[in-house]
């Protein structure tokens, strides 16, 4: 019986290629791999449709590169819609490894090693073990390869859709420095969604002020990491970076920089509202400036503040420019005083080598001190997360002995160390540690790391039950989403926020750019429900503490100020919130 849909040569070739990839990852004989690759090439290059050839029972082995086994396989694929060798391999070799071999500097051989020796079955696994430093020590890998693999994973992920805020930010910093340093540049900055701090970025918008745009455009075109120049003229240059992210650069005269910055920062909805207001005031707003009717010279254009002021508005922070009521608030003089990174006094969620962190307690505390923190809470994983080396009571007791020693060593040096644990919420809502230990902790961060696919009612009940436990202080990453990879689990967030408010549990804004969870809109709902927010880096290494700024950006997008954010408070007030005066 022939399958209803006739399979094309390109698709047959693709299946053969995939079979070759899986064979190679599986560690198969090189000749067999080669045979599949040759066949794929032969099929792709062949003029007549293989489906038609099978239908008229042509002898496929007469074609160069196709032996008896392959001919049988292709015939089965055309007739049954499945290639037997591929079916057999797919049942055995994790298909996620096909993504893993896309990562720069991982070929099939290395994928095989990662799979067999580290249990890697996809990009997520690969990232986890690489971040934990467990790739470098594999034979033939090393630190350099591990670092390359980590950036390669980003590149593979970015290929589809929007980039994460953190990735776009990291890629753009050197480009912005280049633009700022280009001949004749008076001012330069980031605009668009990246300036507004959105959690994902469609493309990056850069703006520069210079009389002569040519050398500025040239600097971007020649930048490291530019794969392709999509277009380049006097006012705009667009390039594609190696990972697939697009960057648009506009160059304007210095006298119009402010108006252009307003325009290209957006959002579109905010711009529309601004233009409408200008019309009501008898003015005209464009990317060139704010004009009185028929005048050639603008009333305001040089600075953003001038443009807003001429519209009789205070300057509106970019994070608020989403048409979520900021125009009315500005008009009525009730814009919030937004949180800044400087307001942050401590980080209450990070990991060490006691579970899956890369740095030890001393190193993490030093890094917290370097960021000027007054307090910091160690929060390694609890035992349920076995692959992280999570802590049970016995291991926690050992950790505390080590912390005692560390504290004796440090004396009164800032930051004050709070003893915490990131305790798993079990399937039924119980916590992954005995009550007597939970009570002794300074801070209990509760989170879901398992059973993501419970029905909404069950998931909600499970979390609400955990929030009702008297020792819980924080609900970490409340939806469990991973940006660009995994949606949050199905849960009634308003019920969760109500329970959190009732029990005095803070809702976390997990600042990792992979999570940003709670999101800006979720935080708005949480605060409206009466919850306190805590912004945590969830760092798994010292450098990860810097993710705090992405959390602050996201909190600003939620209109938050110092008063709503636990870790912007002095230690005494934090302790009062945690309901513990010390052990």
Which residues are at the interface with Zn ion (CB under 5 A)? 422, 538
Number of residues near Ca ion (by CB under 5 A): 5
Which of Ca ion, Zn ion, ligand DGT, none does residue 537 bind to, with CB < 5 to 8 Å depending on kind?
none
Q: Which is nearer to Ca ion, 217 or 541 (CB)?
A: 217
Window of 81-89, 178-186, 204-212, 434-442 that interacts with Ca ion by CB under 5 A: 204-212
* CB distance 215 to 223 below 8 Å: no
Q: How far is the CB of 192 from Ca ion (least distance, A)?
A: 3
Element (H, E) at 485: none
Minimum Å gap between C-beta 184 and Zn ion is 47
Name the residue among 504, 540, 548 with its Cα closest to residue 351: 540
| Residue nearest ligand DGT, Cβ-based | 266
User: Rounded to the nearest whole angstrom, what is the least distance from the CB of residue 248 to ligand DGT in the complex?
Assistant: 7
How many other C-beta atoms are found inside a 10 Å radius of the C-beta of residue 262? 30
Question: Does residue 76 have a cis bond before it (omega within 30 degrees)?
Answer: no
Q: Among 125, 169, 199, 205, which residue interacts with Ca ion (rule: CB under 5 A)? A: 205
Q: Which residue number, 316 or 421, has a Cβ lying nearer to ligand DGT?
A: 316
Shortest separation between residue 380's beta carbon and Zn ion, angstroms: 8
> Binding residues for ligand DGT, per CB under 6 A?
192-193, 198, 201-203, 205, 263-264, 266-268, 271-272
Secondary structure (H, E, C), 317-367? CHHHCCCCCHHHHHHCCCCCCCCCHHHCCEEEEECCCCCCCCCCHHHHHHH
Contacted by 350, from Zn ion, Ca ion, ligand DGT, none: CB < 5 to 8 Å by type? none
Q: Which of 125, 167, 248, 380 binds Ca ion (CB under 5 A)?
A: 248
> Strands 200-201, 163-164: parallel, antiparallel or unpaired by DSSP?
antiparallel
Which of residues 279 and 543 has its CB atom nearest to ligand DGT in the complex? 279
If the CB atoms of residues 24 and 517 are measured against Zn ion, the closer one turns out to be 517
Which of 565, 574, 559, 557 is CA-nearest to residue 342?
565
Q: Which does 422 bind (CB under 5 to 8 A by kind): Zn ion, Ca ion, ligand DGT, none?
A: Zn ion
Considering only the stretches 168-176, 202-210, 217-225, 387-395, report the one whose residues sit in contact with Ca ion under the rule CB under 5 A: 202-210
Distance CA 107, CA 186 (A): 46
- Closer residue to Ca ion in complex, CB, 54/191: 191
Please report how close the Cβ of residue 220 comes to ligand DGT at its closest, in angstroms.
Answer: 16
**Could you say whether residue 192 binds Ca ion (CB under 5 A)?**
yes
**For residues 327 and 433, which CB has a smaller minimum distance to ligand DGT in the complex?**
327
State how far the Cα of 50 lies from the Cα of 59, in Å rounded to an integer: 11
Find which of ligand DGT, Zn ion, Ca ion, none residue 271 binds, CB within 5 to 8 Å per kind. Answer: ligand DGT
Beta carbon nearer to Zn ion, 517 or 538: 538
456 with 492: CB under 8 angstroms?
Answer: yes
Least separation in angstroms between residue 202's CB and Ca ion is 5
Q: Degrees (nearest 5) of the Cα angle 265, 305, 246? A: 15
Measured from the CB atom, is 173 or 528 closer to ligand DGT? 173
Q: Nearest-5° angle of CA 15, CA 16, CA 21? A: 95
What is the number of the residue whose Cβ is closest to Ca ion?
192
Closer residue to Zn ion, CB minimum distance, 290 or 511: 511
The smaller minimum CB distance to ligand DGT, of residues 102 and 267, is found at: 267
H helix or E strand, kind and range, residue 166: helix 165-180
CA-nearest of 435, 436, 432, 458 to 446 is 432
Q: How far is the CB of 204 from ligand DGT (least distance, A)?
A: 8
Tell me the closest approach of the beta carbon of residue 200 to ligand DGT, in angstroms: 7
Q: 268 is in the binding site of which of Ca ion, Zn ion, ligand DGT, none (Cβ under 5 to 8 A by kind)?
A: ligand DGT
Residue 176, CA atoms < 13 Å, CB-side half-sphere: 17
Do the beta carbons of residue 345 and residue 568 sit within 8 Å?
yes
**Closer residue to ligand DGT in complex, CB, 198/302:** 198
Query: What CA–CA distance (Å, rounded) separates 431 from 423?
Result: 7
Q: Where are the alpha helices (DSSP H) in 50-135?
A: 50-55, 68-80, 84-92, 97-100, 108-118, 123-131
> How many residues are given for the chain?
583
Q: Where are the alpha helices (DSSP H) in 182-285?
A: 192-196, 214-221, 257-265, 268-280
Q: Give every CB contact of residue 34 below 8 A, 6+ residues apart in sequence.
A: none
Closest separation in Å from C-beta 158 to ligand DGT? 13
Out of Ca ion, Zn ion, ligand DGT, none, which partner does residue 478 contact, by CB within 5 to 8 A per kind?
A: none
287 contributes a contact to Ca ion by CB under 5 A: no
The residue ranges that bind Ca ion (CB under 5 A) are: 192-193, 203, 205, 248
């Amino acid at each position: 019986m022939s399958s209803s849909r006739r399979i094309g040569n390109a698709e047959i070739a693709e299946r053969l290629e995939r079979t070759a990839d899986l064979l190679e990852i599986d560690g198969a004989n090189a000749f067999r791999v080669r045979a599949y690759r040759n066949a794929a090439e032969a099929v792709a290059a062949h003029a007549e449709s293989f489906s038609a050839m099978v239908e008229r029972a042509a002898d496929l082995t007469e074609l160069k590169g196709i032996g008896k086994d392959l001919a049988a396989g292709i015939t089965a694929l055309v007739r049954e819609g499945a290639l037997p060798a591929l079916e057999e391999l797919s049942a055995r070799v994790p298909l996620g490894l096909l993504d893993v071999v896309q990562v720069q500097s991982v070929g099939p051989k290395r994928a095989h090693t990662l799979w067999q020796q580290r249990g890697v079955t996809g990009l997520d696994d690969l990232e986890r073990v690489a971040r934990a430093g467990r790739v470098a020590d594999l034979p033939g890998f090393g630190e350099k390869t591990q670092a390359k693999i980590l950036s390669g994973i980003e590149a593979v992920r970015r290929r589809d859709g929007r980039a994460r805020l953190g990735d776009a930010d990291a890629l753009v910093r050197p480009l912005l420095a280049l633009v700022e340093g280009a001949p004749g540049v008076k001012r330069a900055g980031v605009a668009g969604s990246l300036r507004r701090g959105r959690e994902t970025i469609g493309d990056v918008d850069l703006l520069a002020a210079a009389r002569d745009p040519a050398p500025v455009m040239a600097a971007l075109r020649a930048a490291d990491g530019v794969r392709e120049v999509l277009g380049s003229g006097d006012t705009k240059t667009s390039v594609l970076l190696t990972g697939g992210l697009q960057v648009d650069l506009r160059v304007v005269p210095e006298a119009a920089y402010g108006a252009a910055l307003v325009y290209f920062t957006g959002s579109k909805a905010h711009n529309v509202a601004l233009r409408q207001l200008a019309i009501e005031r008898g003015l005209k707003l464009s990317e060139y400036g704010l004009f009185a009717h028929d005048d050639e010279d603008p009333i305001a254009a040089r600075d953003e503040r001038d443009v807003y002021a001429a519209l009789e508005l205070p300057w509106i922070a970019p994070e608020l420019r989403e048409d979520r009521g900021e125009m009315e608030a500005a008009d009525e003089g009730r814009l919030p005083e937004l949180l800044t990174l400087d307001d942050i006094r401590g980080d209450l969620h990070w990991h060490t080598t006691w579970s899956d962190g890369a740095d030890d307690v001393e190193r993490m505390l030093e890094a917290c001190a370097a960021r000027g923190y007054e307090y910091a809470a160690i929060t390694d994983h609890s035992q349920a997360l076995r692959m992280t080396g999570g802590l049970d009571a016995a291991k926690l007791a050992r950790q505390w002995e080590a912390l005692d020693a560390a504290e004796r060593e440090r004396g009164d040096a800032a930051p004050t160390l709070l003893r915490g644990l990131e305790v798993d919420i079990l399937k039924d809502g119980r916590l992954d540690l005995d009550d007597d230990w939970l009570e002794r902790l300074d801070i209990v961060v509760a989170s879901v790391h398992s059973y993501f696919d419970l029905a909404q009612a069950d998931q909600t009940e499970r979390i609400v039950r955990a929030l009702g436990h008297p020792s819980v202080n924080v609900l970490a990453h409340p939806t469990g989403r991973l940006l660009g990879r995994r949606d949050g689990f199905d849960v009634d967030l308003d019920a969760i926020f109500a329970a959190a408010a009732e029990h005095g549990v803070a809702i976390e804004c997990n600042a990792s750019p992979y999570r940003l969870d709670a999101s800006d809109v979720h935080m708005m709902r949480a605060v409206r429900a009466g919850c306190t927010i805590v912004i945590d880096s969830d760092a798994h290494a010292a450098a990860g503490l810097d993710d705090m700024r992405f959390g602050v950006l996201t909190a600003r997008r939620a209109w938050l100020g110092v008063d709503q954010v636990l870790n912007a408070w002095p230690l005494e007030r934090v302790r009062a919130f945690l309901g513990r005066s010390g052990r």
